[in-house]
Amino acid sequence: MATKKPEEMSNEELLKNEKLIKTMLYILIFFALILFAAGIWLTIVKHKFSALTVIPLSLGIIALANANNLKTLQKEKKSRGL
């Protein structure tokens, strides 16, 4: 499924996608922080590196991509005066 550019979206789609991406971003950040804390804790307790520490980094990259998409949607929303 091809995604539409923000310029091609209707006002309702734009608002819906902004809300969805904002929610996903908060959830990703929340779980990345929890997994990072768990990975650090396991590394300290077991005195060896845990692979769980790498997962939050990948979630952080996904969160960054979502933040960029959110910024684009908010810019388009502002240009439309919504």
Tens-place pLDDT, residues 45-79: 878 777 777 888 888 888 888 898 889 888 888 88
> Model confidence at 80, in pLDDT bands (50, 70, 90)?
confident
Burial class (CB in 10 A: 0-12, 13-18, 19+), 28: buried
Residue ranges per domain, the chain? 10-80
pTM, to two decimals:
0.75
Q: How far apart are CA 4 and CA 59, in angstroms?
A: 24
Rounded alpha-carbon distances, angstroms, from residue 67 to 46, 49, 50, 61, 76: 35, 30, 28, 10, 14
The token pair that represents 54 in the structure block: 């790498």
Neighbours of 56 (CB within 10 A): 22
